[in-house]
Amino acid sequence: MVLNCLHLVKRFGSVTALGDVSLEVREGSFVCILGPSGCGKSTLLRVIAGLETPDEGRVYLEGQDITRWIPAQRGFGIVFQSYALFPNLTVLENVMFGIRGLRREARRHRAMEMLELVRLSDEIRRYPSQLSGGQQQRVALARALAIHPRLLLLDEPLSALDARVRSDLREELRRLHRALGVTTVMVTHDQEEALSLADEIVVMKDGRIHQSDRPHRVYRKPGDLFVADFVGAMNVLRGWRADGEGVVRGGMRLRLRNGHLDPGETVIVGIRPEEVGLALGDEGENEHSTEVISLEFRGPFYRVRCRFLEGELPSSLTVTAHWPASVVESQQIREGMRVRVRLPPDALLVYAAGEVAEATVPAAVAG
């Protein structure tokens, strides 16, 4: 482990920004700290950078306790959302600013190297205000990388950019990470960014880590309802009772893949909209009749909201499905139509009913 945070606690007055947070970062990995605003993710980054001192807990770098080190001793590169480029210095001067202990020629050489890496070597005489937002962020990256950081810290680096530039820069970040192999910790509130960039995602809320895992595991096996809801869209179907092989709700029954539930326990069932199937053939397992209550065109697919029927009567339960546009159009699905939906056992996630989205139960931390 290159970086190890143990039981970090940070309070600002009565607000607990970090409540016992532990985090491990492997050499060369790209870790994304993901969470809604105010979840403590930026505080965690600032504690790692040395810009805040934790009230409790320790930070280790390669086994060495660096909790009390000042930022300069740590030698980390930081990129902020605001870029924080010095407006009165040129691109080259900005990148050279932090390089120290070398002769001017060598500093310049090093800075040029970095600017070539972010493909800005033609803009070195310009001032930040003469560059686009994406270019400015690349200068900030070059400046942070120029000091050979042991760790690269990115605080919402893409949030101030518009969508197209953001996706370009996302690729750029991935390319740089591959090319340099520098261990990177990025803070973001954008789950798409985290899913596409990270080797490992750390989901935070209210100063606590809810889940920490590889991106596809966070998406497929969210540790709790909060993670399920925050990363991607999720149908939350409440009011089920465990019963042998599956769960029941009124007259409805769902079979689960591995149901080790205590009979009688109330549970919540989750399923991602793209996993909800449209059943066309003969009636099969986990299929239920519903009535379409709304249709929303989303380009490649339709977002279809369906209400479950109990016999002929509408129930209080609805589910949202993403069905390919071609299917919806060829089946001529319209509002008010009866359709059968399939909830495949493999795609169903089950959570204890006591655990609501605002759960305070300890997060399920998977290695």
User: Using CB under 8 A as the criterion, which residues of the chain lie in contact with another protein when the complex forms?
Assistant: 49-51, 70-72, 74-78, 80, 82-84, 86-89, 97-98, 100, 127-130, 143, 147
Say if residue 197 is exposed, middle or buried (CB neighbours under 10 Å; 0-12, 13-18, 19+).
Answer: buried
Q: Identify the CA nearest to 213 among candidates 203, 204, 205.
A: 203
Give the residue with the Cβ less far from another protein, 96 or 268: 96
Q: Whole-number minimum distance, CB 49 to another protein, in Å?
A: 6
Distance of alpha carbon 242 from alpha carbon 209, whole angstroms: 29
Say if residue 311 is exposed, middle or buried (CB neighbours under 10 Å; 0-12, 13-18, 19+).
Answer: exposed
The phi-psi region of residue 159 (left if phi > 0; otherwise alpha if psi is between -120 and 50; otherwise beta) is alpha
Give the residue with the Cβ less far from another protein, 19 or 98: 98
- Which residues have CB under 8 Å from 313's CB, separation 6+? none
- Which residues have CB under 8 Å from 145's CB, separation 6+? 77, 114, 117, 152, 176, 180, 182
Q: Whole-number minimum distance, CB 188 to another protein, in Å?
A: 17
CB atoms within 10 A of CB 171: 11
Give the residue with the Cβ less far from another protein, 72 or 361: 72
Q: Whole-number minimum distance, CB 161 to another protein, in Å?
A: 16
Give the residue with the Cβ less far from another protein, 154 or 237: 154
Give the residue with the Cβ less far from another protein, 189 or 249: 189
Give the residue with the Cβ less far from another protein, 131 or 271: 131
Q: Whole-number minimum distance, CB 189 to another protein, in Å?
A: 18
Q: Whole-number minimum distance, CB 229 to another protein, in Å?
A: 31
Distance of alpha carbon 205 from alpha carbon 192, whole angstroms: 17
Q: Whole-number minimum distance, CB 50 to another protein, in Å?
A: 8
